């Protein structure tokens, strides 16, 4: 069922191995004004991301990891997430979040020339060469009040049509947004505080590789927003600062969890994951 396990390490673990090996970006993110972070969903020394098309192998793998880790590690927090089931949509379909929005349209592709420069750490990264940086944000959605907003209001907040994810300036989901387009009254079609305008950057090096999943937890629902990049301080933080300052979606979302991890490089047969750090 295409089970994968992604492993990352946090600041505390690296400091215990060798503080001199700590990247400048590996640690808590700068404070954002709208954050309401809960320690129950923040930080951590070791990250395990289990992903599969089926819950059965995830449940089995999670139990095996828990068994092997319990002698030296204590669980800090966990969150089960989900996307559309495999086969429910045609391959290549962008997922929807629980607000009903197409989520993750403008995501760098491995086919793009500068993809590796955005994502993978090079030889100068030492023990992290071939690895990446990962930011995880737990975002609560206020769906009850979101349901009260009419369709035009929802689309204006995002800047895209709910039906197909196309920008309000026309075309389809993949059509570039025309941020200069104006309506008959002379106002910009994409509002100044629309989510896609605030998230947009004219600096191509600011792009991140997003990997989000939905979650429901009792009476709470939201998005586990994860993103990979070379340097969160240079790529994720500028984007989040713009969203924190003025994003119409802030009326219905709250960031309640935050963590940064170094994603470990791969290893060859006979090797051990994390060997470049622990050697």
18, 103, 164, 247: which is the annotated catalytic residue? Answer: 103
Q: Which of 274, 251, 255 is nearest to 263 (CA)?
A: 274
Tokens of 279: 């050697």
Report H helices in 107-227. Answer: 115-119, 143-146, 151-158, 195-199
Is 35 one of the catalytic residues? no
Q: Which of 156, 128, 144, 159 is nearest to 262 (CA)?
A: 128
HSE-up of residue 204 (Cα within 13 Å, Cβ side): 7
Q: Which of 23, 211, 215 is nearest to 122 (CA)?
A: 23
- For the residues of 46-73, what is the DSSP string, one character each? EEEEEE-SSHHHHHHHHHHHHHHHTTT-
- Active-site amino acid positions: 103
């Amino acid at each position: 069922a295409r089970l994968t396990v992604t492993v990352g390490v946090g600041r505390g673990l690296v400091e215990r191995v060798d503080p001199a090996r700590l990247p400048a970006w590996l640690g808590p993110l700068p404070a954002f004004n709208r954050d309401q972070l809960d320690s129950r969903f923040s930080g951590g020394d070791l990250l395990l991301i289990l992903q599969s098309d089926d819950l059965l192998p995830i449940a089995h793998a999670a139990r095996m990891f828990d068994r092997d880790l319990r002698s030296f590690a204590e669980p800090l927090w966990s969150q089960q997430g989900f996307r559309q089931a495999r086969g429910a949509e045609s391959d290549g379909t962008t997922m929807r979040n629980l607000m009903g929005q197409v989520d993750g349209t403008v995501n760098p592709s491995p086919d793009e020339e500068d993809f590796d420069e955005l994502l993978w750490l090079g030889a100068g990264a030492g023990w992290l060469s071939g690895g990446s940086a990962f930011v995880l944000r737990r975002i609560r959605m206020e769906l009850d009040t979101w349901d009260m907003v009419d369709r035009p209001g929802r689309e204006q907040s995002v800047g895209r049509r709910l039906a197909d994810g196309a920008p309000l300036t026309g075309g389809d989901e993949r059509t570039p947004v025309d941020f200069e387009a104006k309506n008959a009254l002379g106002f910009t079609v994409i509002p100044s505080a629309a989510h896609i305008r605030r998230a947009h950057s004219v600096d191509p090096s600011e792009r991140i590789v997003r990997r989000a999943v939905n979650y429901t937890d009792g009476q709470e629902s939201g998005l586990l927003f994860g993103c990979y990049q070379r340097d969160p301080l240079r790529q994720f933080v500028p984007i989040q600062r713009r969203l924190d300052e003025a994003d119409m979606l802030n009326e219905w979302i709250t960031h309640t969890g935050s963590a940064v991890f170094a994603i470990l490089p791969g290893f060859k047969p006979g090797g051990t994951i994390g060997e470049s750090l622990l050697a």
